[in-house]
Amino acid sequence: MIATLEGTLEHRGNDSIIINVGGIGFRVYVSGFTLGQLGAVEGKVILHTHLHLREDNVSLYGFASGEELALFGNLVSVSGIGPKVALGLLSALNPQQLVMAIASGNTDLICQAPGIGKKTADRLVIELRDKLEKEWKEVALPSAPESADVIAALTGLGYSLTEAARAVSRLSGSEELSLEEKIRMALQQMVRG
């Protein structure tokens, strides 16, 4: 099967791109996260890919990293989650935010993705929580939903999940603080190192 594609970016759409590989143009569906990682049209790109076969359709999905591809594979393994919905999840939340939301059971954050309701979010948490905690074990995941919100905000600002989790773990005695105050304190922790 097609594991990676390396070629020239010919076209950028809202949810897909065309990569020219040796004179052949491949339409590859990508997440918003991956789309943001790609350079300009006519630039060189390398994508990790997933070939999805149905009896009436063959689609190629591409990802900026192997971790995002693995997370996509985990998502489509859940009953009721197809590749388009999985791509929507990875477009609404970056991979680290999505792993954090699933591992911490933050279904409200998961429901922000298009096509995801409360029942589907609950199913994602039930079926993937343990698996993702093992695969992303280098990250100390908080148990409190409030901590998950702070981590989601920090990763949304561009910090890695590991950096955000480390900063949140240093917030002691912050139960009475608002979300904004916790984020500010976590940012101060990150600046101090």
Q: Are 9 and 43 in the same domain?
A: yes
Q: What is the pLDDT of residue 136?
A: 73
Report the CATH number at residue 19: 2.40.50.140
In a domain, 68, yes or no: no
Question: What does the pLDDT average to over 56-75?
Answer: 93
Q: Are 129 and 149 in the same domain?
A: no
Is residue 142 pLDDT above 60, yes or no? Answer: no
Helix (H), strand (E), coil (C) string for the chain: CCCEEEEEEEEECCCEEEEEECCEEEEEEECHHHHHHCCCCCCEEEEEEEEEEECCEEEEEEECCHHHHHHHHHHHCCCCCCHHHHHHHHHHCCHHHHHHHHHHCCHHHHCCCCCCCHHHHHHHHHHHHHHHHHHCCCCCCCCCHHHHHHHHHHHHCCCCHHHHHHHHHCCCCCCCCCHHHHHHHHHHHHHHC
Segment among 4-8, 66-70, 169-173 with least mean pLDDT: 169-173
pLDDT in tens, 105-125: 888 889 888 889 999 999 999
Q: Are 108 and 161 in the same domain?
A: no
Q: Are 16 and 38 in the same domain?
A: yes
pLDDT in tens, 4-59: 999 999 999 999 999 999 999 999 999 988 998 898 899 999 999 999 998 999 99
